[in-house]
Amino acid sequence: MDPINKINTKKDSTLAMLKEASLRQWELVYFEQGDLFSRSGDPNGIGRPLTLQDAEQWYQLSEEKEYHLGDFDFILMRKDPPFDVNYIYATYLLEKAEQSGAIIVNKPQSLRDCNEKFFATSFPQCCPPLLVAQRADLLREFLQTHKDVVIKPLDGMGGESIFRIKGEDENTSVIIETLTQHQSRPVMAQQYIPEISNGDKRILLIDGKPVPYSLARVPAQGELRGNLAAGGSGVAQALTARDYWICEQLAPTLKEKGLIFVGIDVIGDYLTEVNVTSPTCIREIDSAFDTNIAALLMDALESRLSV
């Protein structure tokens, strides 16, 4: 996971998982990405046993110890993007741990394969009109066809570098040049969905089954993006019939790919992203509806031990 001393204890989803695992008296060991290594082909890590406590200093880390990663029942990968080359190297190590018997959440190969923007294109029946391209002429043609579009990088998070272009915007050329780095990197263009004013809904799925509530991230006044990191406000709400239908479309593929814990983003009636690296919003939904999403996840993991 990311440095434990920097997480937001009021809303961090990883902390919700740690608390639930601790209640079940699971042995917890803390690693950061740089603690993983391979020795003679064996996946290892320098970890620190972790215990939670009811105090201002809410956690305690014991002395460092070397572990063989294949000896763990479960390894949860909770490293936030950016999804860079170091992240990819970590998935290679975790794949070795998986081959040695550990269950990795989520499956390392699928973490590499399922780019959170591009993966949504696997479900065109759920998505708005969209284009993934780096050529400026193709992006301009998409804009001319749909008139009002959102363009974003394939590797962004938290609403970073998302632009809306309407009609003959005089900034169109510079936006395309900037995001594609002068036509050297592909980006995603989607038809603008007006229902963003009602929120960008985060829906969590465990083993392909949706939690019955979502968190709608509503943009701040004058803002395009609903991301909480961009100033959006969270409104928890029950799933709609359309939300459930979208989840049904994704479920078989998620299960096939070993994507145990996933967060999808839905605006209006459309799927826009499939988050597989480090889905959040557990705490906000739990607080609003007295759910225990981390417990559902741990139940799903425990069921794998009995198979």
CA atoms within 13 A on the CB side of 208: 11
In the annotation, is 19 catalytic? no
In the annotation, is 10 catalytic? no
Beta strands 74-76 and 103-105, pairing class: parallel
| 67-93 confidence digits (pLDDT tens) | 999 999 999 999 987 788 999 999 999
Choosing from 48, 201, 225, 283, which is the catalytic residue? 225
Buried b (16+ CB within 10 A) or exposed e, 55-68: eeeebeeeeeeebe
Res 307: pLDDT: 60
In the annotation, is 195 catalytic? no
In the annotation, is 265 catalytic? yes
Tokens standing for residue 274: 């499939």
The H or E element spanning position 238 is strand 233-238
Query: What mean pLDDT is predicted for residues 205-225?
Result: 90
Choosing from 273, 283, 284, 286, which is the catalytic residue? 273
Choosing from 78, 107, 117, 283, which is the catalytic residue? 117
Lowest mean pLDDT across 94-98, 165-169, 229-233: 229-233
pLDDT band at 230 (very low <50, low <70, confident <90, very high): low
Res 56: pLDDT: 84
Question: In the chain, what is the greatest distance between 2 CA atoms, to the nearest angstrom?
Answer: 61
pLDDT band at 221 (very low <50, low <70, confident <90, very high): confident
For the chain, the average pLDDT equals 94
In the annotation, is 78 catalytic? no
Judge whether residue 270 has pLDDT over 90: yes
| CATH number 3.40.50.20 is the correct assignment for the domain at 4-113 | yes
Choosing from 106, 115, 227, 275, which is the catalytic residue? 275
> How far is residue 305's CA from residue 307's CA, in Å, rounded to a whole number?
6
In the annotation, is 275 catalytic? yes
CA atoms within 13 A on the CB side of 264: 35
| 194-205 confidence digits (pLDDT tens) | 999 999 999 999
pTM summary value: 0.93
Lowest mean pLDDT across 5-19, 216-230, 242-256: 216-230
Choosing from 48, 107, 152, 257, which is the catalytic residue? 152
Res 155: pLDDT: 85
Q: What is the CATH number of domain 129-192?
A: 3.30.1490.20
Question: If you classify domain 195-305 with CATH, what class do you get?
Answer: alpha beta
Choosing from 20, 207, 243, 265, which is the catalytic residue? 265
Domain ranges for the chain = 4-113, 129-192, 195-305
Judge whether residue 55 has pLDDT over 90: no
